[in-house]
């Protein structure tokens, strides 16, 4: 078999594997979003109590089930398993099988990277230790990329929630001052935020679903802070819990939390502005300064060299 046919075969094989993984992870998003209309069902889906009935016999699900049966599920009691579960939740993957899906994707990505390393060795006509080095590099990259993507997705989602929090607080203040209770305000604002595609909307809907399922407001807010791992939510949750326990008015507490949040955001922006001058120093020294020196000193050096050559 010629190297071209081998390359084409592995290309279509990796494409089929990637398509199957994508459909297994993202293929049922629209079904889940439609079921989120009902609060109780929405709570059970978020906790992993329900799975999508449609598409259970699809090729992607069959491939996943076949791979899941042959791979041990991650142990959530170990530090690595607990950290993986927290990262998945922070990234927005709340299904009960999310950790197992991620493990299947990670191992599949490692195998694909290993095969890609061997394929690259065949295309470049490498042999011996170079083949082994390329295979190990492909395996390492395949195992690293899913973990990096998951961590990056979690960070992006946390930053998005932190940015959206101040606007959500203002809407909560308006709803509470209009006469709604805190639970109804959370429900209304969460539905509106989710309709606009904001990440914090699904989290507020999760809080409303927990409260409707019998969880206390304080515990639901604590779960929100732990689930998102956003630093600005922790003092807000503590303030609302204290206001509820003491019987104080919620609107002034929300106003105070909103003002404190905006102050912290302004301080962080000023801190980032102060750091920018230091961060820009390294690109200036490494890239801009050598070019300026070459432009300024270059003609003089050329003239000196011509003069010395003439002597």
How far is C-alpha 92 from the chain's CA centre?
7
Is the pLDDT higher at 28 or at 114? 114
In this prediction, what percent of the chain has a pLDDT beyond 90? 3
In this prediction, what percent of the chain has a pLDDT beyond 70? 76
Among the four given CATH numbers 1.10.10, 1.20.81, 2.30.30, 2.40.50, the one describing domain 159-276: 1.20.81
Look at residue 3 in the predicted model and tell me its pLDDT: 59
Look at residue 231 in the predicted model and tell me its pLDDT: 82
Q: Taking a C-beta distance cutoff of 8 angstroms, is the pair 268, 274 a contact? A: no
Look at residue 149 in the predicted model and tell me its pLDDT: 92
Helical pair 199-212 and 217-228, crossing angle rounded to 10 deg: 150
Single out the residue of 140, 123, 104 nearest to residue 11, CA to CA: 123
Alpha-carbon distance of 271 to 273, in angstroms, equals 5
197-226 pLDDT, tens digit per residue, is 888 888 888 888 888 888 888 788 888 888
Alpha-carbon distance of 292 to 299, in angstroms, equals 12
pTM (global) more than 0.85: no
The residue extents of the domains of the chain are: 3-158, 159-276
Look at residue 32 in the predicted model and tell me its pLDDT: 41
| ∠ CA 207-212-215, rounded to 5° | 70
Alpha-carbon distance of 294 to 300, in angstroms, equals 10
| Span of 15-19, 52-56, 64-68 with lowest mean pLDDT | 52-56
237-249 pLDDT, tens digit per residue, is 888 888 777 777 7
Alpha-carbon distance of 8 to 18, in angstroms, equals 15
Q: Taking a C-beta distance cutoff of 8 angstroms, is the pair 242, 210 a contact? A: no
**CB burial class (10 A; 0-12, 13-18, 19+) of residue 142?**
buried
138-155 pLDDT, tens digit per residue, is 888 888 999 999 999 999
pLDDT at 26 over 70: no
Q: Which two tokens stand for residue 96?
A: 């009960």
- Pseudo-torsion of CA 67, 68, 69, 71, nearest 10°? 90
Element (H, E) at 70: helix 59-70
**For the residues 76-105, what does the mean pLDDT come to?**
82
Confidence label for 311 from pLDDT (cuts 50, 70 and 90): low
Alpha-carbon distance of 259 to 214, in angstroms, equals 31
214: left (phi > 0), else alpha (psi -120 to 50), else beta? left
**For the residues 174-196, what does the mean pLDDT come to?**
87
The 8-class DSSP code of residue 56 comes to T
């Amino acid at each position: 078999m010629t190297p071209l046919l081998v390359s084409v075969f592995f290309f279509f094989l990796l494409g089929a594997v990637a398509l199957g993984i994508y459909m297994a992870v993202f293929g049922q998003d629209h079904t889940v979003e439609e079921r989120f209309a009902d609060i109780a069902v929405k709570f059970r889906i978020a906790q992993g109590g329900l799975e999508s009935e449609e598409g259970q016999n699809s090729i992607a699900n069959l491939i996943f089930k076949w791979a899941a049966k042959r791979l041990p599920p991650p142990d959530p009691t170990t530090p690595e398993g607990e950290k993986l579960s927290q990262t998945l939740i922070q990234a927005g993957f709340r299904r009960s099988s999310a950790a197992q899906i991620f493990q299947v994707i990670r191992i599949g990505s490692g195998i694909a990277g290993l095969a890609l390393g061997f394929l690259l060795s065949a295309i470049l006509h490498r042999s011996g230790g170079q083949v082994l080095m390329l295979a190990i590099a492909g395996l390492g990259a395949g195992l690293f990329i899913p973990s990096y993507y998951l961590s990056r997705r979690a960070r992006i989602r946390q930053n998005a929630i932190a940015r959206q929090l101040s606007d959500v607080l203002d809407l909560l203040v308006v709803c509470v001052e209009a006469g709604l209770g805190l639970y109804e305000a959370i429900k209304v604002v969460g539905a509106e935020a989710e309709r606009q595609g904001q990440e914090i909307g699904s989290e507020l809907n999760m809080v409303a679903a927990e409260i409707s399922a019998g969880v206390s407001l304080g515990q639901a807010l604590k779960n929100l802070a732990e689930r998102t791992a956003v630093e600005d939510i922790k003092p807000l949750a503590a303030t609302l819990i204290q206001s509820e326990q003491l019987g104080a008015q919620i609107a002034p507490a929300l106003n105070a939390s909103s003002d404190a949040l905006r102050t912290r955001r302004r301080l962080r922006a000023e801190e980032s502005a102060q750091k920018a001058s230091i961060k820009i120093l390294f690109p200036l020294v490494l890239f801009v300064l050598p070019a300026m020196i070459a432009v300024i000193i270059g003609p003089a050096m050329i003239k000196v060299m011509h003069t010395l050559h003439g002597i």
